[in-house]
Structure 1
Amino acid sequence: MLNVHSLPLGPVQANCYLVMNERKESLIIDPGGEGEKLIRKISSIGAKPQAILLTHAHFDHIEAVDHVREKYGIPVWIHEREANWLTDPMLNGSKKYIDLPNISVKKADHLFRKEGQMEVSGFTFNLLHTPGHSPGSVSFHFSEDQIAIVGDTLFQGGVGRTDLVQGNEDQLMESITSKLLTLADDTIIYPGHGSWTTPMEERKTNPFLRT
């Protein structure tokens, strides 16, 4: 059984998730900033980080990547369509904001290239390619525990923005309707910002999805 710990980090409070198994081995998903705060959290719950997974490469989800990678000596995974975004402040969006530093982190160690069941550092999940918010956005579906970590694709009562680099509204809606809302009704969906939700709740109440 997996436990999920959420920690909002960085200037826009993006959710970082620690997905931890019974041996306290953990995946770090989207370390978006405040590396020392994240490390304190990891220590406080006794987690043993095994890898960093990124739902996408926008600055608010990657700022602490190198800090955490170097602390624990663990690999970083991202979708191949955003492999070069980690090093490019224009693509990852940090250059857009004059009150933020240009963010650039080292290249990922591994690339997601196709959908389907994957095993990373002892964790098994279904990788869903969910583009629209960005071209390489992915969601991690841990089907046995009915958990999905979806980045900025879908929110409680909202959907991801598509006015950033290579955003696409049609793709976003297709990703949501065909990949996320088709999950089991009571799947816990953990978004990149805000509170968790479920496919059933979003089908019923999300004003961006109701027809």
Structure 2
Amino acid sequence: MFFPDSNSSVKLGRSVIKDVYYFGESPMLDCNQFILVDDATGELSLFDSGNGISLKGLLEGMENLGLHYQKITRVFLTHEHVDHVLGLYPLIELLEKNPPTIHAFGETAKILREGNESKIFPGNLGINPATFGLEIIPLDIVDLKLDELIRIGSNFTMKVFHTPGHSHGSVCYYEETKKILIPGDLVFTGGSFGRYDFPGGSLDSLINSIKFVNDLDIKYLLPGHMNISDNGNQQVDYSYRMVQSIKSFF
């Protein structure tokens, strides 16, 4: 089992704004996760599933905030990498009587539907499913459409933007009214941005995608790693300037 101590560590969570919750990544090879609550039904939408090993910690963290994991009805993925999708497998098993629907875009949906290990585990990471004690199996996936509007109760309408660069199937979720961006591994706080050396990655695409989201009105930046921010536009602009400086060396 990979990083066994993280299996029992509670993922500390907190409210970002009403009905939006943030759970920070575990110490190694995990991701930040976000939960949005349907104000009408109490159903939960989970954004990214983590590395699988951290699932127990997530569920305990949810319960500490009065969020019951049995109410997770949908999982929305930002991209296909190990630290964002491995939690799907134990979560589906745990909720086998009422499994959540899994939503992904383009290449990410294809990879998960095929159970393509080589794309979920980029070769230069030097890890495989056995490292995590998991078996990668084909999954039923609901395909997201370009610019699709995802309604979560009456309180959230998330728009799907295709933002390749870190991976070919990467997407961001944007809530225009509340100015929330969930960018996965496209852009982080502190001027950081996603790696582009994995299969399907591209520096040019990454720059174009960051340029695109830099034009959005963002207050809450909820990235896949590192800290979140309530000064989203400033953070994204900083990352855009930093990634442009990288390009100048090539």
TM value normalised by structure 2: 0.74
**Which of 102, 108, 131 matches 1:76?**
102
Q: Give, in whole Å, the separation in 1 of the partners of 2:166 and 2:23.
A: 21
Q: In the alignment, does 2:220 pair up with 1:192?
A: no
Look up the match of 2:201.
Answer: 167
Aligned pair 1:29/2:50, yes or no? Answer: no
- Alignment-derived partner of residue 88 in structure 1: 116
Identity of aligned residues (%): 22
The answer on whether the counterparts of 1:50 and 1:74 sit within 8 Å (CA) in structure 2 is: yes
Partners of 1:153 and 1:160 within 8 A in 2: yes
The offset of 1:120, in angstroms, is: 5.8
After the TM superposition, which of the residue ranges 61-70 and 23-32 deviates more from structure 2? Answer: 23-32
Q: How does 1:1-211 map to 2 (within 5 A)?
A: 1-9=18-26, 11-22=28-39, 24-33=42-51, 34-47=54-67, 48-72=71-95, 73-86=99-112, 87-93=115-121, 96-102=124-130, 104-119=136-151, 123-156=156-189, 157-178=191-212, 180-184=213-217, 186-197=218-229, 198-204=232-238, 207-209=242-244
The AA in structure 2 aligned to 1:167 is G
**Relative to 1, partners in 2 of residues 1:158 and 1:94: Cα closer, same or farther, differing over 3 Å?**
same
Write 1 or 2 for the structure with the bigger share of helix: 2
Aligned-pair CA distance for 1:207 = 2.4
| Bigger shift: residues 55-64 or 139-148 | 139-148
| Alignment gaps of 5+ in structure 1 | none
Count of aligned pairs: 209
Change (3 A) 1:109 1:200: same
Separation (CA, whole Å) in 2 of partners of 1:99 and 1:93: 7
CA deviation profile, 1:56-94 (whole Å, cap 9, x unmatched): 010110111122233332111111222232311211125
Structure with the higher fraction of residues in strand conformation = 1
After TM superposition, the score normalised by the length of structure 1 is: 0.86
Deviates more, 1:144-153 or 1:4-13: 4-13
- Structure 2: gaps spanning 5 or more residues: 1-17
In the alignment, the residues of structure 2 paired with residue 158 and residue 168 of structure 1 have an alpha-carbon distance, to the nearest angstrom, of 16
- Partner AA of 2:44 in structure 1: S
- Residues 124, 108 of structure 1: CA spacing in aligned structure 2 closer, same or farther, 3 A cutoff? farther
Is contact 1:75–1:109 with CA below 8 Å preserved after alignment? yes
Matched residue SS, 2:237:
helix
Structure 1 residues 79, 9: CA separation in 2 closer, same or farther (over 3 Å shift)?
A: farther
Moved more, 98-107 or 192-201: 98-107
Bigger-Rg structure (1/2): 2
